[in-house]
Structure 1
């Protein structure tokens, strides 16, 4: 993992621009998710987390604050050049820390099926049947904090 990177809540317009650029690169360009599905009304109220290094953004993710004590981790994306460096783990842990800071007791997510093993290694358990979102197979997963 690069030693000179930072994971933080996106705090200003430049952070948000970088955050959305990562999502666009990974989901819209790489995975061909239609932009109108990638960006939604939840973005306005989400906690946005950004990973950056000396040359720009490395990854992004968001937390939706549930009223039932459960947060929703979503839109987790790491740029192709930054994969395999631990950035995804750092983003998940930062989002979990934000969930705790907001008094939430669990985090749920919709994992693309190819990423289920990644989330299992971080303590998430799948539940329910496989389903499609944006034409990509997913499983719901949960971790009690």
Structure 2
């Protein structure tokens, strides 16, 4: 396996890779309706792509208010720290932009992953697109 790299993506130029990954993970695997996956926030978000070599294998986005979302890694690359690299890049960019709090809506099964990165659960469990979620918060340590 080549090393994993993460870069800030361009919603227009990198749209095919961003869509390919999110469609495979959220729409095909998790049965999220396409109308819930694609929203107007994509145009204003900072997007990230994770690569193995020159092949895009993961994505995430950061909204201007510090909300992190659409964290996704293709099935064959899960468990290989791709999500860790992605989330670290998103957190670093958020902090660089002065967003000292980051929030996200996490699938319940993924909460240990986010807790490793300093997030804590804020809410009771709720359904989003039919999948159990909780709200989580990370505050930059001073």
* TM-score above 0.5: yes
SS at match of 2:32: coil
Distance 1:20 1:98 in 2: 21
User: Is structure 2 residue 48 aligned with structure 1 residue 22?
Assistant: no
**What is the alpha-carbon root mean square deviation over aligned residues?**
1.4
Name the residue aligned to 2:78.
83
SS at match of 2:125: strand
Name the residue aligned to 1:126.
121
Distance 1:23 1:4 in 2: 22
Name the residue aligned to 1:46.
45
Distance 1:44 1:12, change over 3 A: closer
C-alpha contact 2:47 2:62 (8 A) present in aligned 1: yes
SS at match of 1:65: coil
SS at match of 2:85: helix
Name the residue aligned to 2:56.
57
Which runs of 5 or more structure 1 residues have no equivalent in the other structure?
none
User: Is structure 2 residue 135 aligned with structure 1 residue 144?
Assistant: no
- Using the size of structure 2 for normalisation, the TM-score is 0.93
Which runs of 5 or more structure 2 residues have no equivalent in the other structure?
none
Following superposition, which runs of at least 4 residues in structure 1 exceed 3 angstroms of deviation?
A: 11-14
2:102 to 78, 92, 107: 107
Distance 1:63 1:12 in 2: 12
- How many pairs align? 140
1:6-46 per-residue CA deviation (whole Å, 9 max, x = no partner) reads 20011374522111211111000000100000010110100
